[in-house]
Amino acid sequence: MAKDPKAFLKISRKDSPYRPVEERIKDYKEVAVLKGIAETEQQARRCMDCGTPFCHWACPIGNYIPEWNDFLKDSNEAEAFVLLNATNNLPEVTGRVCPALCESGCVLGVNDDPVTIRENELSIIEYAFEKGLVKPQKPKKRTGKKIAVIGSGPAGLACAAQLNKAGHSVVVYERDDEIGGLIRYGIPDFKLKKGVLDRRIEVWKKEGIKFETEHNIGEDVKVEGLLKKFDAIVLAGGAKQPRDLSSTPGRGLKGIYFAMEYLSQRNREVAGKEITGEKIDAKGRDVVVIGGGDTGSDCVGSANRQGARQVIQIEVLPKPPQERPEDQPWPVYPRLLKTTSSHKEGCERMWSVLTKEFVGDDAGRVKVLRCVKVEWEKGPDGRWNMKEIAGSEFEIKAGLVLLAIGFIGPEKSRLLNDLNVKLDSRGNVETDENYQTSVEKVFAAGDMRRGQSLVVWAISEGRRAAYAVDRYLMGESVLPKI
């Protein structure tokens, strides 16, 4: 189809629909409905094919966005897939859960709605799987080099896929019973169905990557043995150490859990697995989620599906703006108010709220949160200071409290201890610009290196680390730098 340079003036942005709330709230199936390919082709026509595509710059893996949109508009999904495959090892995951940093940089977004880049990405890869275009590609020859990747989240997986492509023999070690890290046991099924992950892992297995689950490196397998056996090791163990409210009175009461304790149970349950230990149940309870971010939103969606009586989400920071503020101009990714599909399923949200105390009942279970409203003022040093508003104290009824207030870095496990790798000032594994840690032949990538982040950043880190490892082992690399 000839390019219509004015298509963006004639075609409006159309997002994929969600299943109706009353239907989706009863199950854990994905809430978003995949767009038909004809609709995607139409949306791709809105891309202006800019000379300087800021979307490409804003995407941490440098996806060739205008180029695939060009192929899409011509119904050439096969070529669009070749381009997507060149930069992204898990487009079926980013296509579902990426916050689309690219769309904030879309030039059309300056004065109109940006192109539906994330959804276009998803349509390409789902079309490719459906039509059998995703085929295992075994490397033509093996280098004889052996690499251990520790951790099977998106960073470890992208790294392993790239290193295998370069002909190295890769073993991915995972302490959990399934591959995937937070995309397996963190992100709920209603955002990302796990069959998507299993489908990709089957391709990688056929390409020659070995996966060893239930191997906790440092505990079940000693690091000295691994250092002897492998030519290089990549640490991709994530950053799952949760931030706590340990100094808040009443924190020790029953019924207060970290978000990840709750979410991983839910994902295991949906996968039909047995839950070990006490089951965290929101059914019939007043649930309070502390933390206004994405992890908190995933708790909201899960608690509603479990049959919570009511769900309240509180956040200590002020309510973000709905439009770009002046200090966050295009094309930066702005911090705006985000209303997710989970919020729309039933949730009261409050901002500028500080939890002062958890109060329990006679059985030692949390029943009330004592809170106070706060305001934020910029000090002379430019830093924001929090001030409690006198007389604004109030209480929230709570039968279950979920702490979703972020992560403070990698768990300080025997893996890091026995390796004796240097940590940076934030407690993450320190590396040089070549992703190399303070220990010879040990590299690091993903959340373990940069702190809790995003899937697309984990993939980017995994790919960059793979390039660095390949160069370290072979003197030069056949892999792309990202």
Ligand X SMILES: Cc1cc2nc3c(=O)[nH]c(=O)nc-3n(C[C@H](O)[C@H](O)[C@H](O)COP(=O)(O)OP(=O)(O)OC[C@H]3O[C@@H](n4cnc5c(N)ncnc54)[C@H](O)[C@@H]3O)c2cc1C
Q: Which is nearer to ligand X, 126 or 298 (CB)?
A: 298
Residue 59 contact partner, candidates ligand SF4, ligand X, none, CB within 5 to 8 A by sort of partner: ligand SF4
Name the DSSP letter for residue 303. Answer: H
Pairing status of strand 146-150 against strand 232-235: parallel
Contact 400, 303 (CB under 8 A): yes
Q: Smallest gap, in angstroms, from Cβ of residue 460 to ligand SF4?
A: 9
**What residues between 186 and 205 interact with ligand SF4 by CB under 6 A?**
none
Does 121 engage in binding with ligand SF4 (CB under 6 A)?
A: yes
Grouping H, G, I as helix, E, B as strand and the rest as coil, residue 213 is coil
**Token couple for 340:** 């997710």
**What residues between 423 and 462 interact with ligand SF4 by CB under 6 A?**
456
Cα-flanking dihedrals φ and ψ of residue 338, to 5°?
Answer: -115, 120
Q: What is the total residue count of the chain?
A: 482
> Minimal CA–CA distance to 158: which of 230, 232, 234?
234
Q: Binding residue for ligand SF4 (CB under 6 A) from 80, 117, 270, 308?
A: 117
Residue with tokens 């300087």: 52
Integer angstrom CA distances of residue 475 from 165, 379, 395, 413: 17, 51, 63, 32
Contact 263, 299 (CB under 8 A): yes
Q: Smallest gap, in angstroms, from Cβ of residue 184 to ligand X?
A: 7
Q: Which is nearer to ligand X, 99 or 320 (CB)?
A: 99
Q: Which is nearer to ligand X, 71 or 211 (CB)?
A: 211
Contact 451, 239 (CB under 8 A): yes
Candidates 96-104, 188-196, 332-340, 366-374; binding stretch for ligand SF4 (CB under 6 A)? 96-104
**Token couple for 298:** 């995933």
Chain residues binding ligand X by CB under 6 A are: 97-98, 150-156, 173-176, 181-183, 186-187, 215-218, 236-238, 240, 260, 263, 294-295, 298, 413, 415, 446-448, 452-456, 458
Count the site residues for ligand SF4 by CB under 6 A. 13
Residue 295 contact partner, candidates ligand X, ligand SF4, none, CB within 5 to 8 A by sort of partner: ligand X
Q: Which is nearer to ligand X, 367 or 449 (CB)?
A: 449
- Helices 117-130 and 77-87 cross at an angle (nearest 10°) of 110
Residue 235 contact partner, candidates ligand X, ligand SF4, none, CB within 5 to 8 A by sort of partner: none
Longest dimension (CA), the chain: 73
Residue 186 contact partner, candidates ligand SF4, ligand X, none, CB within 5 to 8 A by sort of partner: ligand X
Within 8 A by CB and 6+ apart from 273, the residues are 177
Q: Which is nearer to ligand X, 8 or 258 (CB)?
A: 258
Residue 294 contact partner, candidates ligand SF4, ligand X, none, CB within 5 to 8 A by sort of partner: ligand X
Distance (Å, rounded) from C-alpha 145 to C-alpha 231? 6
Q: Binding residue for ligand SF4 (CB under 6 A) from 40, 43, 94, 302?
A: 94
Residue with tokens 């933390």: 291
Does 101 engage in binding with ligand SF4 (CB under 6 A)?
A: yes
Convert residues 51-70 into a mask of x (bound to ligand SF4 by CB under 6 A) and - (unbound): --------x-x-x-x-----
Residue 102 contact partner, candidates ligand SF4, ligand X, none, CB within 5 to 8 A by sort of partner: ligand SF4
Does 159 engage in binding with ligand SF4 (CB under 6 A)?
A: no
Does 44 engage in binding with ligand SF4 (CB under 6 A)?
A: no
- 198 sits in which H/E element: helix 195-207
Burial class (CB in 10 A: 0-12, 13-18, 19+), 26: exposed
Sign of the C-alpha dihedral computed for residues 399, 402, 405 and 411 taken in this order? positive
Q: Smallest gap, in angstroms, from Cβ of residue 418 to ligand SF4?
A: 35
Residues that bind ligand SF4 (CB under 6 A): 59, 61, 63, 65, 94, 98, 100-102, 117-118, 121, 456
